[in-house]
Amino acid sequence: MTRSLRAGVSLLAFSIGAQALCGQALAQDTSQPETPTTTEIVVTAQFRAQNLQDTPLAITAVSGELIASRGQTNVSEIASQAPNVTLKPQGQELGPGIIAFIRGVGQTDPNFALEPGVGMYIDDVYLPTLTGSLLDLTDLDRVEVLRGPQGTLAGRNSLGGSIKLYSKKPEGSNTGSIEATYGRYNRIDVRGLFDVKLAENLFMRVGGVTKNVDGYVKRLDYNLTHPGTNVPTFAKGADPVLGKVGGTSSVAGKVSLRWQPSETVDINLSGDYTRERNEPGANVLLYANTSAVFDGPNATFTGGRPFLQGTNGAGIPLNCAFVPNGANSCDTISGYDRRFISYATYGDAARPDSQMPYKPTFTDPHSNLDNYGAALTIDVDLSDALKLKSITSWRKYTADWSYDSDGSPIANNNLNQTQKNRQWSQELRLSGKVLDDKLDFTVGGFYFDTRGTFTGRINLNYAGIDFLHGPDPTPAKNKALFANFTFALAEGANLTGGIRQSWDEKDYGYVRRNPDGTAIQGPCNFFLGAPTAGPTGLGNQPNCLLFGLNGLTASFRDNRVDWRVAADYRFSPDFMAYAQVSTGYRAGGVNPRPFFPSQATAFRPETITAYEVGFKSDLFDRKLRVNVSAFFNDYKNIILSSVNCLDLATAGPGGSSQATPCLRPSNVGSAHVKGFEVETLIRPVENFTIDGSVSYLDFQYQNVDTLSTGVTLKDVTPYTPKWKAAVGVQYDIPDVLKGMVTLRLDGAYQSKIYTEAANLDSLAVSSTVPANSPVTPSPFSNAGGGGPITTLRLSNRIDGYFLANARVGWQSDEKDWGVTLEVQNLTNKYYFLTLLQEAFGAGTASGQPGRPRTWSVSVRRSF
């Protein structure tokens, strides 16, 4: 085990004597300085305000103060300290969004046809897609990370868990603050907020943020950095730097109004807007092995139709020469950090012909998002024992992004995609206490309506197609009725139950056209007997493989009952134990990206039954908090996306393959998942705080559909580490320059993960592999690209790594001034956030590297 994991385990073993399994909690300490203790944090995971330590759930609650002290700025960073939680920014290919997994349950694909698996909420408003869910952490009261199915509490598609962000409400305090940050890569952030009293019982809070930072991966012109090469230049002058990727530029604002017309009514209205104009996500090429030629001009598949013609007229293969770093690189570049460069041009310079007439084409490198909405929450105390809550919301976003995963001037796989969503929701809750306050209940209803469309220019030279996808409409609705109760059986003993009936409906329409808007003609002449080099050779109609998809529709209808039973007992004021059984589900649907009619298949809902035990404790005069939970999940009909439709290898006319291109959601199998989680908060002496967590997860498939998906019994779901550990140490030094100096160090470890449903540790691939040769686990659809490296290595594994961050801050005694110096990735670790393995179809694999070591200085003024 790594040193970081051993240190975390030793710390927690010291804390609890290493006995119990699994649990909860992580919160900022604001205890009295003369008596250092853990403090209470209030959560609303069970529809009512409860002390975190009284909630019989595995939940990590992080206060806004702790978020600030760690220097965390977006929701993906919360996962570093949350056990069995993985949140990563999407790779370049899937645009501005997030990848979310909790306890092995989640999703990587942001398309409307797939539900996230981990529910994302802002002030109890549900976000239906991973796109637009990489949320900023400005002006938050707290974040609640609930692990395990939330079928009765959070509703649809939260079978892995849910992540809930709660904003600070207006108080009329007539206070505010402004903070400015400057750092490496020209990072410039400015955050501001103010809270003002407009009238008696009417308050307003306004917050805004702008964040800007340059990209850290340079896009270089291959010709200008490799004198004498056959590759043509794409530069406009003598500068070899075409641009950068990985940079961001965003501005966001929120206005909140709070009106309290009486002591029993609280009305909160808010509106927010986020505008992002980012560079594409950071991406570097890790593997390249394709001849990069269209099917030949005659029936013998010979002749030249290269993706890119060299300066001497010959075609240029995509091989190790364009991989700048790593085991698969034979690049000769010097003078640059090879770990952070790409030769992507976002252009397709192929020469047009009758089968591929829509060339050349060029795309502006970008990743944009406009995300806005409004929410109205009304709380009414009908009586001392009865409360009514209404949550009404409307939201809309447009995301638009470009994608050049081949990382080279050879246009193997270039896309520009747009996803739009409009949603509105209404939730009503009636809560109360009866039977002499022994029964605490909540009943309610939920309605959700979303209208989404997906549009893209899908330019897949490796598959011989270049077409317009969409706009594909995806209207969906969800309705639910729910009830939850907690009954006090005796002093310190409670029984909790819940039930939720949900109704889901979703429709999908397929629109496929040529890039000029004309209808796709077919069937392919090849299938009618023409002597062409397959269905994408000369003599076929453009994009004829897609013939028959345009105008198809599909629908999904289902209903589901989820339930939860939990019991808890407080043995003492300092120790509570609980046990629960709960269920959850994620709605099914249809494949949103069929490249052939045979791929327009449906997938069933996935379900989970979870068993959990745990305890929560505050020990040694509340100087030590330890929360532990252990779980076992029966996880069925798991929905994951496959990049190779292996069952369709002979599904085309005449036995031709329709296995690639492929990006198909499927029910890959069922699994048993078990593990434990430990979280601790220690205040041993005044001004000194230690927080830590350790988690373990054992994922075991019980049955799989290997024929269709390539998933085997030994695989695990993507982005699911077996081990995670984190530790944070903070020491406050008072009376320094009439203020307080705070020193903080955070470290986090995760073990290896895989990024695809079919795990791949290391596969040896010949650089001269023939097209469609019988290779395990899947044939390669294109011939190899040759080159001096005869055997390449292919993997979708990210090895385990440890990251550390450090902060030194000073705040005046009056708390009106503050200065902070921060270093992230303290050890300058080179690691990957995500990988994209497209080798069997496109012949490439690429990855999103994390930022190298960065520094920043922030100045804050409060008033």
CB 284 within 8 A of CB 835: no
- What is the arrangement of strands in the sheet containing 105-107, beginning at the earlier edge strand? 85-89, 98-102, 105-107
pLDDT at 780: 87
Structure tokens given for 47: 């529809």
Listing DSSP states for 274-343 in one string gives EEEEEPPPP-EEEEE-B--BPPPSSTT--S--BSSB-TTS-B--BSGGG--SSTT------SS-GGGEE-
Rounded distance between C-alpha atoms, residue 452 and residue 395, angstroms: 12
pLDDT at 255: 97
Cα–Cα distances (Å) from 800 to 78, 720, 747, 827, 852, in that order, read 18, 11, 14, 15, 17
* Chain Cα centroid distance, residue 375: 24
Amino acid at residue number 358: Y
pLDDT at 152: 85
Rounded distance between C-alpha atoms, residue 642 and residue 598, angstroms: 15
Find all residues with CB under 8 Å of 848, minimum gap 6, and list them. Answer: 89, 91, 92, 281, 282, 283, 832, 833, 834, 835
Listing DSSP states for 518-584 in one string gives PPPP-S-GGGGT--SSSTTSTTSPTTGGGTT-TT-EEEEEEEEEEEEEEEEEEEETTEEEEEEEEEE
State the number of CA atoms in the 13 A half-sphere of 93 facing the CB. 22
Listing DSSP states for 674-685 in one string gives EEEEEEEEE--S
Listing DSSP states for 206-223 in one string gives EEEEEEEE--SEEEE-HH
Cα dihedral 534, 537, 543, 548 sign: negative
Hey, how many other C-beta atoms are within 10 angstroms of the C-beta on 530? 13
Rounded distance between C-alpha atoms, residue 93 and residue 848, angstroms: 10
Find all residues with CB under 8 Å of 236, minimum gap 6, and list them. Answer: none
CB 135 within 8 A of CB 165: yes
Helix (H, G, I), strand (E, B) or coil at 351: coil
Amino acid at residue number 207: G
Helix (H, G, I), strand (E, B) or coil at 406: coil
pLDDT at 18: 31
Does the predicted model carry a pTM greater than 0.85?
Answer: yes
CB 486 within 8 A of CB 439: yes
pLDDT at 30: 39
Rounded distance between C-alpha atoms, residue 215 and residue 705, angstroms: 41
Helix (H), strand (E), coil (C) string for 82-141: CCCEEEEECCHHHCCEEEEEECCEEECCCCCCCCCCEEEEECCEEECCCECCCCECCCEE
pLDDT at 73: 84
pLDDT at 49: 82
Structure tokens given for 630: 């252990």
Rounded distance between C-alpha atoms, residue 247 and residue 230, angstroms: 31
CB 406 within 8 A of CB 346: no
Closest CA to 841 of 765, 758, 779: 779
pLDDT at 112: 84
pLDDT at 155: 59
Rounded distance between C-alpha atoms, residue 603 and residue 770, angstroms: 33
pLDDT at 207: 95
Closest CA to 693 of 143, 11, 184: 11
Rounded to the nearest 10 degrees, how much is the dihedral formed by the CA atoms of 623, 626, 627, 632?
Answer: 180
Amino acid at residue number 349: A
pLDDT at 272: 95
Determine how β-strand 161-167 pairs with β-strand 118-122: parallel
Structure tokens given for 757: 């449903």
Helix (H, G, I), strand (E, B) or coil at 690: strand
Closest CA to 301 of 771, 659, 840, 779: 771
DSSP 779: -
The low-confidence residues of the chain, meaning pLDDT below 50, are 1-33
